[in-house]
Amino acid sequence: MRFDDFFEEVPEPIAAWALPGATKHVVKMGLVRDLAEGPISGDDDLASAIALTRVVRAEYEAFGTDDKMVILSEEEAREALRALRLVLQRQGVQFRPPWSDFSSFKAYWLAHDGYGSWQARRVMISEVFQPVLERLEASEEQSFANELVEAVSPHETLGWPGVDEYIEQLRLRFRSASTVVDYKDVGNRCVGVLEALSAKVYCPAVHCPPGKTPPPVDKTDVRIGAYIDHRLPGSSNEELRGLTKKASALAHKMKHSPRADRTTSGITADAVILLANMLRRLEDTGGT
């Protein structure tokens, strides 16, 4: 989520001075509350933490400069600051500003030589918010440096919607992961990609021996291996089949590992993404 995602235009309440069709700029407090409760599915929680920090900082800067410029109400300002504290906790950042809403911010600046000087108030805000932003942005830069592999492929995506969605969710989860639980979930997302691949490439009528029961979707190494056997028969392609088994084993191991970390989960995710792209390339060439 980005800075602009926290705002929307809504109709102005009916009033004598309001022009027909007039709107006003508001903060999506429902979204703020959702983030306070926990990560939103499919969202980059780190990017949302950065954006929410900027939103809250901007509101307190506006109040310290000219209280007619603020968008949030007093109660919303208190709720947004509390939500930000909870969001930052998920990123391992302790946030304890010396005020809790607009009124207590004003009391703070009056007690700390901020009377009559909006610049002094901006310095106070910077001292509270800037270290937080710098730490979050450093984490984001590190995550960009550790992005998952991009395959050597003519496709920006695989063109397999179900699989592409799982890979995108895997990328987002890895980008925001920071704890053992997070990295185990990266392993879980890797398994999801493999199962989506298994469902896509395996055709019982083609790949299941006569009289046999088709293996379930979660038997990814068996199903994908059968697809590869059909496309590239013979012992000369055993290495590719071996990659499928290793990728599946890595994903399941990571899913349950008590020592999952960024390096091992990243390697696992890279292996799964590369396997997906190899299968897509195999599909393109018809196995020739």
Whether pTM > 0.75 for this model: the answer is: no
Tens of pLDDT, residue by residue over 35-56, are 999 988 778 888 899 999 999 9
**If 0-12 CB within 10 Å is exposed, 13-18 middle and 19+ buried, where does residue 92 land?**
exposed
CA dist 228 and 34 (Å) reads 44
- Residues near 220 by beta carbon (within 8 Å), at least 6 away in sequence: 191, 194, 195, 197, 198, 244, 248
- As a whole-number percent, the residues of the chain with pLDDT over 70 amount to 90
Tens of pLDDT, residue by residue, the chain (288 residues): 889 999 998 887 765 555 666 778 899 999 999 999 998 877 888 889 999 999 999 999 999 998 888 999 999 999 999 999 999 998 889 999 999 999 999 999 999 988 889 899 999 999 999 999 999 988 877 766 556 656 545 456 788 988 999 998 898 888 777 788 888 999 999 999 999 999 999 999 999 999 999 999 989 888 998 998 888 877 767 777 788 788 888 998 999 999 998 889 999 999 999 889 888 888 877 543
As given in the structure block, the two tokens for residue 110 are: 């009056």
Element (H, E) at 249: helix 238-256
| DSSP sequence for 179-198 | SHHHHHHHHHHHHHHHHHHH
Angle of the 45-65 helix axis to the 29-37 helix axis, nearest 10: 130
Q: What are phi and psi of 65, to 5 degrees?
A: -95, -50
CA dist 29 and 76 (Å) reads 8
Query: Rounded to whole angstroms, what are the CA distances from 6 to 37, 91, 175, 199?
Result: 16, 19, 21, 37
